[in-house]
Copies of this chain bind each other. A is one copy, B any other.
Amino acid sequence: MKNIEVCLTPELFSKYNLENKIVVIVDILRATSIITTMFQNGLKKLIPVNSLEEARKYKNNGYLVAAERNGKKVDFADFGNSPFEFTSENILGKTLVYSTTNGTNTINIASKSESVLIASFLNLTSVTNYLKNQQMDILILCSGWKGNYCIEDSLFAGALADSLLNYKKFTTNCDSVTSSVDLWNVAKADIHQYIKRIYQYNRLTDLGFESIASHCFKVDLNEVLPVLRKNYIVNLKNSL
Contact residues of A with B, CB < 8 Å?
A: 8-9, 11-12, 15, 145-151, 154, 173-176, 178-179, 182-183, 185-187, 197-200, 202
19 additional contacts (CB under 8 A) given A15-B147, A151-B179, A182-B186: A8-B149, A9-B12, A11-B11, A11-B12, A145-B175, A148-B176, A149-B175, A150-B175, A151-B175, A151-B178, A175-B198, A175-B199, A178-B197, A178-B198, A179-B183, A182-B182, A182-B187, A183-B183, A186-B186
CB A158 to nearest CB in B, in angstroms, measures 10
Complex Cα spacing A174 to B186, Å: 18
A15, closest chain B residue (CB): B148
Residues from chain B with a CB closer than 8 A to the CB of A146 are 15
Q: Given the known A-B contacts A182-B186, A186-B182, are A147 and B12 also in contact in the complex, defined by CB atoms under 8 Å? A: yes
- A139 CB to closest chain B CB (Å) equals 13
With a cutoff of 8 Å between Cβ atoms, the chain B residues found around residue A149 in the complex are: 8, 12, 175-176, 179
Closest CB of chain B to A204's CB: distance in Å?
14
CB distance from A159 to the nearest CB of B (A): 14
Q: Which residues of B contact A186 (CB under 8 A)?
A: 182, 185-186
What distance in Å separates the Cβ of A215 from its nearest Cβ neighbour in chain B? Answer: 20
Shortest Cβ gap from A154 to chain B (Å):
6
Query: Which chain B positions have C-beta within 8 A of A150?
Result: 175
A202 to B171, CA, bound (A): 15
Please give, as numbers and ranges, the residues of chain B lying within 8 Å of A11 by CB-CB distance. Answer: 11-12
